[in-house]
Structure 1
């Protein structure tokens, strides 16, 4: 597995849900990943805080939801118990409602009771904290706000196994000389554990010379689901045919996951113009479809 701190930092970016408003509410820590055995009990204390110096108090209501991520990286929060890997039914918390003054912090405690017959693999739930303006009066207040932040709970019930493969490579050619070549790699998590996946694309010309290395940033891959890792290549780049070698790693230090794709640029790519239309970079052109993929070395 990747270092826990890096994975949780990514979870903060992907799964902490907020709404724009004049006030905010925070939770610390934003995510936890536990290793457990069937029948084990886990307890965690969260700090819920209002960082604003305002004298106005915030009413914060806590509740559980599930979480799912689509193939294109869109995060959804269906009702608790919807996702088959949900741990919401295992989780209780107290208090269910708090009130926070300016720059005030209070604690919420939750307990996870892992069932004796729990299925091995990663189970998860989201403990949401929704802040509301206490002064809002239904039917009378013209405008009020609600915002929420999530604490992500992952429980790895042993034994777990990280496994996966590249199941597609898609690309989009630039529509003009100042556009970007865009590539997306589809990774399918075939293991039973949540993993962090990252990598790179090595582009080589017809002579085998390394033309560019495109980073594929770390993403979270849920069990039995796919994710897309994306990157782009801009000018100056000569036209011609290139070979793209995709190299991914899901935390296994002993082996990488490989895939191959052929790239054909129809014209020379120039450096992007500073006044270029953002729609002109080829992002809206149709992908070419899945490419040949390789296995693990």
Structure 2
């Protein structure tokens, strides 16, 4: 018994030590940059400048080193893919090679973008990274060691740009056509075939079978950009309210009532049309798409039909009983009157 206590005690101390290590390790690697994204427009041969803020949240003074990488779209999620580059925007950006910050200190850092005279009009993208580990330029081959905090730089070089974009797919998640209640989750895929980033904005209008608009949903609430020559997938939903999770391991009746509750508070019935309308680019070009789906709250409808049958059945029975009582009462009164007339004649 004593041996077991010692083992459990040692294990507890070991686990607690690991937790404390990870907590304090996360706190000692805290550097905040602001803003996280910088958008710049400049002409070929022009120099653009600006500033950002570095904030050292670590308990000790630190030196942070800068480095630059280009980025492009990674898949359709909108996540950037960073790669080192010795050309284009990463080589046009100039800022401090290193910045020393005391604990809790905030400092403004200036930067410049020297756009070459022969720069291609359109979008150019890079990131300014800051790390407590110096880059190769500082004589240490450790660019990938340690945490890095980045600022995205979105540069548009003025000139003749090509805007070619549009919706290539609009549907519900899982391509579902039938629902019993909200939420209804949508996605659309937006393709940018031009040479500059675009930020689509617009709405999804959901109309019932009579054409009445039931709700309007922001199609790009995160204000996400679509980089040139890429496709980005956006997701949004017609949300539900007061939802309860369906317990799949519960018995049939409990699951049934959970579905009834969700369908009651998120009622919908019939055919719906989701109309996606987007605008993008400087010319406010338009693109649209539609998707048809149905909401059939069959759990709730079955319950309503059962209740209606019960009400009608017992209602008819009560009406018949009441009519029978009226008829018997009328016959009884008639017989009494007939007997009274016979006595008068005698």
Same fold (TM over 0.5): yes
> Max radius of gyration: which structure?
2
Query: Does the CA contact (< 8 Å) of 2:183 and 2:238 recur in 1?
Result: yes
Matched, 1:205 2:212: no
Matched, 1:50 2:56: yes
Please show how residues 244-283 of structure 1 align to structure 2 within 5 Å: 244-250=274-280, 256-267=286-297
Stretches of structure 1 lacking an aligned partner (at least 5 in a row): 1-19, 133-144, 271-297
Query: Does the CA contact (< 8 Å) of 1:70 and 1:227 recur in 2?
Result: no
Number of the residue aligned with 1:13? none
Query: Does the CA contact (< 8 Å) of 1:248 and 1:256 recur in 2?
Result: yes
Number of the residue aligned with 2:17? none
Q: Would you tell me which structure has more helix in proportion to its own residues?
A: 2
Query: Does the CA contact (< 8 Å) of 1:239 and 1:269 recur in 2?
Result: no
| Distance in 2 (alpha carbons) for counterparts of 1:174 and 1:114 | 50
User: In structure 2, the residue corresponding to 1:256 is in which secondary structure?
Assistant: strand
Number of the residue aligned with 2:197? 194
| Residues 208, 110 of structure 1: alpha-carbon distance in 2 compared, 3 angstrom cutoff | same
Matched, 1:232 2:241: no
Matched, 1:223 2:228: yes
Query: Does the CA contact (< 8 Å) of 1:165 and 1:257 recur in 2?
Result: yes
In the TM superposition, residue 157 of structure 1 has moved relative to its aligned partner by 1.1
| Residues 162, 269 of structure 1: alpha-carbon distance in 2 compared, 3 angstrom cutoff | farther
In the TM superposition, residue 252 of structure 1 has moved relative to its aligned partner by 5.0
In the TM superposition, residue 156 of structure 1 has moved relative to its aligned partner by 1.1
User: In structure 2, the residue corresponding to 1:220 is in which secondary structure?
Assistant: coil
User: In structure 2, the residue corresponding to 1:67 is in which secondary structure?
Assistant: strand
TM-score, structure 1 length as denominator? 0.67
In the TM superposition, residue 215 of structure 1 has moved relative to its aligned partner by 2.0
Stretches of structure 2 lacking an aligned partner (at least 5 in a row): 1-24, 134-144, 241-265, 301-346
1:245-287 C-alpha deviation (Å, 9 max, x unpaired) = 10112255755321111123354698xxxxxxxxxxxxxxxxx
| Residues 268, 99 of structure 1: alpha-carbon distance in 2 compared, 3 angstrom cutoff | farther
1:180-214 C-alpha deviation (Å, 9 max, x unpaired) = 32110111123322232222111112221222222
| Distance in 2 (alpha carbons) for counterparts of 1:268 and 1:36 | 59
In the TM superposition, residue 125 of structure 1 has moved relative to its aligned partner by 0.6
| Residues 31, 106 of structure 1: alpha-carbon distance in 2 compared, 3 angstrom cutoff | same
Q: Would you tell me which structure has more strand in proportion to its own residues?
A: 1
In the TM superposition, residue 169 of structure 1 has moved relative to its aligned partner by 0.7
| Residues 106, 212 of structure 1: alpha-carbon distance in 2 compared, 3 angstrom cutoff | closer
Number of the residue aligned with 2:313? none
- The structure with higher relative contact order (CA 8 Å, sep 6+) is 1
Number of the residue aligned with 1:289? none
In the TM superposition, residue 170 of structure 1 has moved relative to its aligned partner by 2.4
Q: Which of 36, 42, 47 is the aligned partner of 1:41? A: 47
Query: Does the CA contact (< 8 Å) of 1:27 and 1:49 recur in 2?
Result: yes
Count how many residue pairs are aligned between Structure 1 and Structure 2. Answer: 234
Number of the residue aligned with 1:123? 124
| Residues 76, 25 of structure 1: alpha-carbon distance in 2 compared, 3 angstrom cutoff | same
| Residues 76, 191 of structure 1: alpha-carbon distance in 2 compared, 3 angstrom cutoff | closer
| Residues 269, 76 of structure 1: alpha-carbon distance in 2 compared, 3 angstrom cutoff | farther
